[in-house]
Structure 1
Amino acid sequence: MADWVIDVCGLNKHFGARHVVRDLSLQVRAGEIFGFLGPNGSGKTTSIRMLCGLLTPDSGAGTCLGHDVIRESAAIKRQVGYMTQKFSLWDDLSLAENLDFVARMFGMDDRRAAVDRTLVELGLEGRRHQLAGTLSGGWKQRLALAACLLHRPRLLLLDEPTAGVDPKARRDFWEEIHRLSAAGITILVSTHYMDEAERCHRLAYIAYGNLLASGTAAEVVAGRGLHTWAVSGAASHGLADTLRRLPGAEQVASFGTALHVSGTDGARLGTALDELGRRGDLRIEAVQPSLEDAFIHLMQHSQDPLAG
């Protein structure tokens, strides 16, 4: 389809004997916010780097921004903004100096105007002379995003961009992400935060190089086929091990003062919970499985090939 900004099939990447990404197939629409989820070491960063031209796939095919991901990586890089996990600008330069340096690397003709425009658009104008090393985590994150946007990219690749920042900074960052999406910029973002994942238009779950699930948050949850109950009450403390031993229980996780117990055999698990509920000191109610329930279920069914 003409509106696919990313359209790849069967991408593979090895580092020595380790098969880091296995047969990745992915399609992302123009203006979409697409979320990457998965445990550490699952291949998210490697996948992002292949898509933006920083790594060449060992095999597979596809396009990014209309360019071949294997043969035209240089053309892709000119139209992509890539924000790494680690702050990679210069602490001893001011915000304006950092952005000017980045603009020079892109070979931009009117660097000063681009820097001034970007400082204003990202709410950084009042800090233009402040040294980057003195910024808080949230402001460093905003500066890094400004550096990605200087050259007016069509695609943003954000690799765990809000790790280590406070909740308000995360919320403000996501407001900016949705503003950029509304302006037509396509965004691929990896995250470990479930509330952020739910802000994405669509999601993909990657575990140890394999794409295991994709779709909207609702589709990913429905695809697990989970039935979930919330167990609460004074007697629920210390009950996790008992719940894990129930017939049909596949996972138990704490959610505030309650425990969520889930399984794919709803009838069997429901019967076991009914029997447990006859104790009278527990409150047990069926609830809709959350994205976090689905995420935990996927993790439990994904085996790290390097473990054990």
Structure 2
Amino acid sequence: MTGLSASAHDIAIDVHGLSKSFGGREVVHDLSMQVKRGTIYGFLGPNGSGKTTTIRMLCGLLTPDSGEGTCLGYDIRREADKIKLQVGYMTQRFSLYQDLSVRENLEFVARLYGVRDPRSTASDMIKRLGLTGREEQLAGELSGGWKQRLALGACTLPDPQLLLLDEPTAGVDPKARRDFWNEIHGLAANGLTVLVSTHYMDEAERCHEIAYIAYGHLLVHGTVDEVIAKSALTTWTVTGEHLTALSAELAGQPGIDMVAPFGTSLHVSGRDKAALESTIAPWREAHGLHWQHSEPSLEDVFIELMTRAKDNFQ
């Protein structure tokens, strides 16, 4: 979330009080936010929490039931058609033509957007994406990582000002995900604004700012450090024997909001520090257990928010 001191030119998105319902169920409730130009803004939250609906409303692809705002300087209600011309949208599902080659797909997109010299533009994009040598390979024959790279190239070929990524790296191997994010950061450094929904904590940590949305409500936003600080969680990491049994005994006890296994350790967290310390005191002296106070991770916060959101909104 940006400060009020930022000039209008620096703001890519500025919306207030957005709400949206489908079939009588409110999917997004009274959402307000600002996004700076050149920012990678991540949206986290459970499935069905309203992330995709929010992203589409922010850029005029979906009309809100109430609320107002601007995207790229255009009114999201009255000038949605102008916004759409400046937006690249990459969905989780590969949406290019499987039976066309890499080159043919990119040339098609270039012609669709009226780009001058489609062949040369497609050729330049192929070089930038590292797809040289694969120009004539059918898109449907590419691996998941190469498909992802091609889809990103197609989205950015018309030189949009805003890029929407809806869980773009699902099912892609770690190296391909890292390469993808390096490319995204390079684009943002050149002024492209990126909105991305993700379930991966390492990806969320690579965003400049993040927002957590649960069942239509914006619960927290800011930089990763700000979101962790706002959680006010006290966290202990436990290693040793019989952690599964310990987890079962601690779950639901006073002051304990989250008990979650992390590899060979257990994270025990709560917002009421005094109650948490009192509850774990008997186990602190238990033989075979090692307790260490630790800083909460973004994943700790994510899990705790999921638990709290389910209680509040379902």
Same fold judged by TM-score > 0.5? yes
SS of residue in 1 equivalent to 2:221:
strand
Distance, in Å, in 1 between the alignment partners of 2:133 and 2:59 is 32
What SS does the aligned partner of 1:88 have? coil
Given candidates 69, 75, 79, the residue that maps to 1:72 is 79
- Aligned-partner Cα distance in 2 for 1:245–1:43: 28
Q: How far did residue 271 of structure 1 move?
A: 3.0
Give the Cα separation in 2 of the matches to 1:30 and 1:306: 32
For the Cα contact (< 8 Å) 1:83–1:148, is it kept in 2? yes
Aligned to 1:240: 247
Which residue does 1:110 correspond to in 2? Answer: 117
What percent of counterpart residues are identical? 62
Alignment of 1:1-308 (within 5 A): 1-2=7-8, 3-303=10-310
Instruction: Measure the CA separation in 1 of the matches of 2:26 and 2:207.
Output: 28
> C-alpha distance in 1, partners of 2:94/2:112?
17
Q: CA deviation digits over 1:152-205, x for unaligned, max 9?
A: 111111110001111111111111111111111111111000011011111000
Q: Give the letter for the 1:104 counterpart.
A: R
Secondary structure at 1:126 match in 2: coil
Deviations 1:125-161 (A, max 9, x none): 2211110000111111111100111111111111100
Q: Gapped runs of 5+ residues in structure 2?
A: 1-6
Contact 1:37 1:191 in 2 (8 A): yes
SS for the counterpart of 1:127 is coil
Alpha-carbon contact 1:83-1:158 (below 8 Å) kept:
yes
- Whichever residue aligns with residue 49 of structure 2, its letter is S
Do the aligned partners of 1:273 and 1:284 also contact (CA within 8 Å) in 2? no
**CA–CA distance in 2 between the matches of 1:130 and 1:49?**
33
* CA deviation string 1:38-85 (max 9, x = no partner): 111111111122223321122211111111111111111111111112
5+ residue gaps in structure 1? none
CA contact (8 A) 2:36 2:193 kept: yes
Q: Which runs of 4+ in 1 moved over 6 A?
A: none
List per-residue Cα deviations over 1:215-262 (Å, max 9, x = no partner).
011111111111000111023243211121543111100111011011
Where 1:165 maps in the other structure, the secondary structure is coil
TM-score normalized with structure 1 length: 0.96
Q: State the distance in 1 between where 2:310 and 2:141 align.
A: 42
Structure 1 residue matching 2:232: 3-state secondary structure: coil
Deviates more, 1:296-305 or 1:130-139: 296-305
Counterpart of 1:239 in 2: which secondary structure? helix
TM superposition score normalised by structure 2: 0.94
Segment of structure 1 superposing worse, 240-249 or 287-296? 240-249
**Separation in 2 of the partners of 1:49 and 1:278?**
52
In the aligned structure 2, how far is the partner of 1:129 from the partner of 1:305? 53
Give distance in 1, aligned partners of 2:58 and 2:154: 19
After superposition, the C-alpha distances for 1:75-121 in whole angstroms (9 at most, x for unaligned) are 11111111112111111000111111212221223212221121111
Q: Structure 1 CA distance, aligned partners of 2:73 and 2:309?
A: 33
Please say which of residues 17-26 and 267-276 is displaced more in the overlay. Answer: 267-276
The range that moved more, 266-275 or 41-50, is 266-275
Count of residue pairs the alignment pairs up: 307
Distance in 1 between residues matched to 2:134 and 2:60, nearest whole Å: 32
SS in 2 for 1:55: coil
Give the CA RMSD over aligned residues: 1.5
- Give yes or no for contact 1:208–1:305 (8 Å, CA) kept in 2: no
